Structure 1
């Protein structure tokens, strides 16, 4: 008779039954709320519609009823609350599924030639987001941590920890499922936008096509900006940019395979720059893609000159140990008499030349060229006298070249020094080369200035390389495979011959 009667146990079966009924009714009410939802904001201060608000209200009704029960047994309370949270999480997932189906149905009935982002689509995204963010606060209000603490106080630490862990896993899983549903909606919309974007990208050479593309993006993004929450808009914007970038990469790759002219890639580069400014995106990946696109947009002459400029910079920046193998050194002095437009170069000497003949003999001379060649067509290209059988030739010759003002003011014009092994009555052979930027030559106002006052310049001699400028080299080499690009073909053929010192013939 002294045994205490736990009267609340009489109602445990009723509570279990009530939880099942509550879940069933919650799903029904969610379905009805979505059916009646016009996907317009409940008022001007928020960006979600009635079904999201109604669904969260349903969950709070369950929470309030549970609080009124005030179940006294902490272990049973742990089980019941776990069941309530599980049902709420499943109901949230159900809401996201139904909302996605509703917006898909709406878009299928208003299908046009071009996919249009609608306010309804934006509210569907916001609704799922609103419901997703309601889960965590609701769980806290159900007293999860309070129940876990009571279990610990009752010396059931293991059960308390397991309860917290189980609840966290359920909430995290629901969050991920709803976030995935949001991503699906976003990707589905973007995938419908991409054909329009791709079509306009491929037509950018036509009049007004870029304007049409930006107008299309403007219309879509303005709707998103106005109707989406700021967090969702940022998420959608980032996803659109990644998709657009991926599409541009695909177009670039396919256009390369189709051997489209460099003018096509020039237009693509301009479009890419517009996109980067428009989306305000900057990253290493973007910079790398732009760098490649810029190379594709250059003419073959521009690519070849870019290659030579890189060779010049590499040569001037190298250490005493030549990265191409030691091909020797060239010493010069140079100045430009500004008033006369006269470039004076004193070829002083070469040191440690490496012979290209098997017998070790070398009859060197130094030839001067100017690059880019098409800007110096009428400019003289002098060379020194031949120094016979000498790997340390002393030239001490001053060569004079008349330049125009435009030539002297070019930023990246190059002086190319070629060391040639002279064969009497035979084909000359290339030994080594080096470069010097024309704008680095000292400008002198005094027409009587003596070359003796100019500093000596030591230049490392080397051979052409494809390893240190692989991107530029690969683009030129790819173009050389086309029969129509004779310049690229001749350049690659000549450079490969020069890379092999035993087969470097020069006319």
Structure 2
């Protein structure tokens, strides 16, 4: 509460001081007044400096807008061919290179892979060994001789042994063999031994079946044709289904990968005997020849284990179809497809398909590496070597390489992966490890890495990743994460917003790191890194702090003079604002969508705190310097302080993008208090420069109207200056209500004093220019000067809105109560009111210059009307004046704005009224035609100045001097009796207005006896009359008479007795007058009561008079002189002592020398006035 009261007192003191600046109670400013004094023109360089000052201020005000435009331009990232900056990282993240010996062993592995290729190559594979060898020599930088040695070694080595992995997945749309409309299918599969080329041709001509091939197989005598029973595999029986799902895997060792075949039968199981048992019994048989015999014995075995009572084959398994696949037709990457079931013969009826996955791989490799290292490790080394070579040969945008390798590389890698039996998951992990590791030395496209992560995620199978592979995957995730965090810390250098390619890469990197932290693989192998967003937050904070420190190190704001330090600090804050703008426009969106981290909040709070600390320290130095007596705020320092304030305001404004919880307790809260004293001094500099600019505008103004306007260049320049200062205040947006009120008061006073100063300078310029100019050109320039002042006045009329006075009033009411609001209202509106009075004063002065120029001509034309003979036509008498006014009106209408035209017309109208009134008063007692002529002149002027509703209003014209003139003309045209009657009407009207006077009062009763036509007047007493004798008393008596005398020629005045030495005489006397109805019906018929002081040595003294119209007593129905009439309440009349000579009627009557009645009336009134003067 104490703080609030202190604030209120402080603000009210400021208000009182502000009100005193331009108080109307003070005497007019002297020539040295700082508010309205306009010194002689300063040197030209000062005016130019003022222009440059406002240009710099405008540039400062546009800083935020320019920053927004620059940020938007950065956001519109079109096609940009400029490569992004290098992504320099810590050496700890760069992987070790392998030795030459290891390369030779790896080369042997690659050559062994090429030599032992199997499977049908795809179109993108290279078929030529020579082409593959040539490519590998380049990859491994191998000479011809070394290549031949290794190739010879590989050819002498043991050939690779192959196996076939068969995955029987499912079948669909099988034939229904059971009565219930279903079948109980199972599969029997095995490898058919190699065939001769002739048999291969026969195979192409007809379908295979076990039964049809049996005879040919039995004819073979070679022992290699005999296969062991374990090469025959059987799936489980799937009961009652036509779409069985087995998902069983079998591995067969292959003797002849180029000639052997895979054969598969699907049967309907019709008894309870296990087919697996039948196959088991075959293991006891040896020496059978031919695969067909084995399948035949299985079938017989199954039948023999059926029902014992049935010797027929009714319970034999029903054939559902078969599939024959030559191993040499299997693609390099294997089969994963649906195969159509085939019949045994044309008589068989089968339908449906079976889904098989087939893959050939080696189960024994005769290479050095394969004997001491794992297949995963070998493939990883091979891929790393190939990736490094492929990337070095990318010519266009190598930083954006998508990881695609050449056909020879793809061929070698595919064959090696197939031969070493790497699963898709293992291959995905290897590719991720290689590319992410390579990326740390030579960057690749982040979309490639993201794609590799997605592949791992899609293939992820936790049980398949154990041991070394799990550890290696964990290390790769860790290294990549740390690498990305390092880049995040340096993101402003590595991923600048000025590079579209860099921002695109950054977005993909964040998406990748965000995707990785949500992968099940990452959670499994890196269980302790479950708060990656905290690591990202830490990296952003550290990177932001380091970036700010680099700014400080670059600009070094602690060096140089105080002005230089502040200027450097402005550059620092501007750089921070630009960075925050980029954070809000670009980076924050990337972080939020990719990793759900509020980058803007983190970086803004960090930068805001560091910037606030540095500026606070600097402003303390500034305030300390300004507090020294000999120090003052220079213009340069003021501009820098203002720019620093605006930069901080821009920085503070970004808090609106913070979450509500983060927008509290920020370091820049209340930062305006650091600048309060400096801004006060700086506003004085702005005022001085504004005055210089206005002075320059007046000097260079040629007083020529601008296009489509009636004001000149200086008015535009002045309002432009005001607009800029107003915009400065708007941009300041001072948040403290008390401070805002003080500043608004100061600005309003500055505006008002500058406007008055401008108007005074324009007036002086017009005064200097009037010499030697013709009437028309001078009138035009004067009109422009008036319009200039009006243009400025209208502009300043919007100050309450432009400076948000209502907002200041509300703020002051909240902080200081209703009294504070009232003081604000009075102070600000008082300033504006005083300014308006000053501008009107200057406008009147200019108009006076104009009318003074017109005065000789107008006086001549008025004199012409006055001296015109009575016989002349009124139009002819008035026409010269009207012709002059018409010509003047054309000039004024063309060059004045409406408001000024009204003012000038009003001034001309008042001038003409005064001139006509002077002419009339100088010519009293002349012929009535004289007054009729001027009456006609006034009526003509009324219509002229009204201008059919476009000029002055009748209401405005028929007031003031017009009423006086109109009355003067009307009275001058009256007879002497009419003037006397008018005199008593005015007296009656004046008597009614008297409520209390210092001359006392008189109490009377009046009642009229209609039958007798007699008016009874009873004078009761008087009270508080003035003392006219030396003893402080009077000897009063009352004279009563009927007036005017020409209406009551037979009535004589009557008087009471004298009451000695009293101021409260009691008379109680009756007087009777004869009054006819024709007499009392006149409004001017009245009774006058004149109180006199009896003086037996000299003339009686006049003490006062009162008047009562007869209409108050004499009217039909009024109580008569009967006893009832005597009960009428007395009337109290207040006495007055007005001088008759002050009334125009008196002067008019006095001017009528030849009129006896007029002269007699004047004589009697002068006697009364003379008695007043002798007191």
TM range, smaller chain: 0.5 to 0.7
Query: Greater relative contact order: 1 or 2 (C-alpha under 8 angstroms, separation 6 or more)?
Result: 1
Number of equivalent positions: 350
- Please give the per-residue CA displacement for 1:82-107, whole angstroms capped at 9, x wherever unaligned: 22222111111111111111222222
Partners of 2:778 and 2:890 lie apart in 1 by 9
Q: 1:68 aligns with which of 722, 731, 736?
A: 731
C-alpha displacement at 1:27, in angstroms?
A: 0.6
Question: Does 2:720 match 1:57?
Answer: yes
C-alpha displacement at 1:55, in angstroms?
A: 0.5
C-alpha displacement at 1:66, in angstroms?
A: 2.8
Q: Are 1:74 and 1:151, in contact at CA under 8 Å, matched by a contact in 2?
A: yes
Partners of 1:109 and 1:265 lie apart in 2 by 39
Gaps of 5+ in 2: 1-612, 614-664, 947-953, 983-1006, 1015-1048, 1052-1075, 1087-1139, 1164-1175
> Secondary structure in 2 aligned to 1:233?
helix
C-alpha displacement at 1:70, in angstroms?
A: 3.8
Question: Does 2:829 match 1:168?
Answer: yes
Residues 80-479 of structure 1: matches in 2 within 5 Å? 80-110=743-773, 118-154=779-815, 158-204=819-865, 205=867, 210-256=878-924, 260-280=926-946, 281=954, 283=958, 286=962, 289-290=965-966, 292-294=968-970, 296=972, 303=975, 477-478=1149-1150
1:154–1:125 CA distance, 2 compared to 1 (3 A): same
Q: Are 2:976 and 2:1149, in contact at CA under 8 Å, matched by a contact in 1?
A: no
Partners of 2:813 and 2:689 lie apart in 1 by 34
> Secondary structure in 1 aligned to 2:797?
helix
Partners of 1:185 and 1:156 lie apart in 2 by 44
Partners of 1:11 and 1:185 lie apart in 2 by 43
- Please give the per-residue CA displacement for 1:49-106, whole angstroms capped at 9, x wherever unaligned: 2211210110111122233334444433332232222211111111111111122222
1:212–1:461 CA distance, 2 compared to 1 (3 A): closer
1:65–1:431 CA distance, 2 compared to 1 (3 A): closer
Partners of 2:765 and 2:892 lie apart in 1 by 19
Q: Are 2:972 and 2:1148, in contact at CA under 8 Å, matched by a contact in 1?
A: no
Partners of 1:88 and 1:167 lie apart in 2 by 12
- Please give the per-residue CA displacement for 1:209-239, whole angstroms capped at 9, x wherever unaligned: 6322212211222222222222222232222
Q: Are 1:266 and 1:296, in contact at CA under 8 Å, matched by a contact in 2?
A: no
Partners of 2:963 and 2:845 lie apart in 1 by 29
Q: Are 2:971 and 2:979, in contact at CA under 8 Å, matched by a contact in 1?
A: no
Partners of 1:107 and 1:100 lie apart in 2 by 11
Aligned residue number for residue 705 of structure 2: 41
C-alpha displacement at 1:305, in angstroms?
A: 10
Partners of 1:431 and 1:68 lie apart in 2 by 88
Q: Are 1:194 and 1:244, in contact at CA under 8 Å, matched by a contact in 2?
A: no
1:167–1:290 CA distance, 2 compared to 1 (3 A): closer
Question: Does 2:687 match 1:23?
Answer: yes
C-alpha displacement at 1:117, in angstroms?
A: 6.6
Higher Rg of the two aligned structures: 2
- Please give the per-residue CA displacement for 1:355-401, whole angstroms capped at 9, x wherever unaligned: xxxxxxxxxxxxxxxxxxxxxxxxxxxxxxxxxxxxxxxxxxxxxxx
- Please give the per-residue CA displacement for 1:249-306, whole angstroms capped at 9, x wherever unaligned: 11111222xx6555544433332332233234463764663454255458xxxx4898
Q: Are 1:466 and 1:473, in contact at CA under 8 Å, matched by a contact in 2?
A: no
Q: Are 1:33 and 1:54, in contact at CA under 8 Å, matched by a contact in 2?
A: yes
C-alpha displacement at 1:431, in angstroms?
A: 6.9
C-alpha displacement at 1:184, in angstroms?
A: 2.4
Q: Are 2:1150 and 2:1158, in contact at CA under 8 Å, matched by a contact in 1?
A: no
Partners of 1:212 and 1:116 lie apart in 2 by 22
Q: Are 1:269 and 1:297, in contact at CA under 8 Å, matched by a contact in 2?
A: no
TM-score (normalizing by structure 2): 0.26
1:18–1:261 CA distance, 2 compared to 1 (3 A): same
> Secondary structure in 2 aligned to 1:255?
coil
Partners of 1:173 and 1:472 lie apart in 2 by 38
C-alpha displacement at 1:22, in angstroms?
A: 0.8
Partners of 2:737 and 2:707 lie apart in 1 by 41
1:238–1:476 CA distance, 2 compared to 1 (3 A): closer
Bigger shift: 274-283 or 231-240? 274-283
Q: Are 1:42 and 1:50, in contact at CA under 8 Å, matched by a contact in 2?
A: yes
1:248–1:76 CA distance, 2 compared to 1 (3 A): same
TM-score (normalizing by structure 1): 0.57
1:209–1:31 CA distance, 2 compared to 1 (3 A): farther
Superposition RMSD in Å: 4.6
Partners of 1:202 and 1:52 lie apart in 2 by 40
Partners of 1:235 and 1:224 lie apart in 2 by 11
C-alpha displacement at 1:164, in angstroms?
A: 3.6
C-alpha displacement at 1:25, in angstroms?
A: 0.9
> Secondary structure in 2 aligned to 1:203?
helix
Q: Are 1:52 and 1:130, in contact at CA under 8 Å, matched by a contact in 2?
A: yes
C-alpha displacement at 1:149, in angstroms?
A: 2.5
